[in-house]
Amino acid sequence: MKFAYFEGKIVPFEDAKISVMTHAFNYGTGVFEGIRGYWNPEKKQLYILRLEQHYQRLQNSCKILNIKLDLSVEQLCKITKELVAKNGYQEDVYIRPLAYKSSKVIGVKLHGLEDDLVIFLSPFGAYLDTSKGIKACVSSWTRLSDNMIPARAKVTGAYVNSAFSKSEAMLDGYDEAIVLNRKGHVAEGSAENIFLVRDGALITPSVNEDILEGITRNTV
């Protein structure tokens, strides 16, 4: 049996369900993190990448979207570790915490609504097969600018912009899209930061180029 954290407790995965009227489902009013866990078969141990930093960013995203998250970073890490242990995957996983507007109402706004949190995980291999290199194109879609939807927050509704770019690239025979911002500068991929190696040094777009301030980017 698999489990998720839902409405304040760990429950069987199939019980973690929302209503079709949930505000976040209708309007994209949620924020999330994508946290990777890597299974080490020799040590029989799952290693989670920068868990605390991901939850610090989630809390910052919640502030931007006016979501009240009544759990500390320490509490969120503890819940996640318990959930990972309870699911017992012995392979690489993807952990998805999602804080969202949970009110069952119609109406576009961010204030005066209820908030909730769900955390679930799933087996997940490499996002892209980089062992043989990938084919990338420059997308015809432009990255959302920071004064439209703040790029530093992982807002669920904003990712339709990434979906446009990714599907356009794949349907045209590429593996990934390179997305430009409104100034015509390279911003990022559909779901990852971009690095260029020049003269033995790494170059990556600045945080003021409408990019997500990536955890892996900061680590590198």
The percent of residues above 70 in pLDDT, for the chain, comes to 100
Checking if the pLDDT of 192 tops 90, the result is: yes
Quote the pLDDT of residue 127: 79
The model's confidence at residue 125, banded by pLDDT at 50, 70 and 90, is: confident
Rounded to two decimals, the pTM is: 0.94
Active-site annotation holds for 154:
yes
Average pLDDT over residues 110-130: 92
pLDDT at residue 169, as a whole number:
98
Mean pLDDT of the chain: 96
Predicted confidence band of residue 130 (pLDDT cuts 50, 70, 90): confident
Copy the structure tokens of residue 185.
């500068």
126 pLDDT more than 80? no
- 53 CB-contact burial (10 Å; exposed 0-12 / middle 13-18 / buried 19+): middle
- Decide if pLDDT at 132 tops 90: no
What mean pLDDT comes out for the span 65-75?
97
Report the b/e string of 79-106 with b at 16+ CB within 10 A. bbeebbeebebeeebebbbbbbbbbeee
Spot the catalytic one: 2, 78, 135, 154: 154
**Whether pLDDT at 112 is above 80:** yes
Task: Return the CA Rg of the chain.
Answer: 18
Count how many residues are written for the chain. Answer: 220
> Going by DSSP bridges, is the β-strand pair 35-40/45-48 parallel, antiparallel, or unpaired?
antiparallel
Q: What is the pLDDT of residue 3?
A: 98
Token reading at 103: 């009110």
Task: For residue range 17-32, list pLDDT tens digits in order.
Answer: 999 999 999 999 999 9
Largest Cα–Cα distance of the chain, in whole Å? 55
Whether the predicted pLDDT of 105 surpasses 80: yes
Tokens of 57: 């960013």
User: Cα angle at 149 between 153 and 93, to 5 degrees?
Assistant: 35
The predicted model gives 34-39 an average pLDDT of: 96
Phi, psi of 157 (to 5 degrees): -65, -25
Structure tokens at 73: 């970073």
pLDDT at res. 131: 82
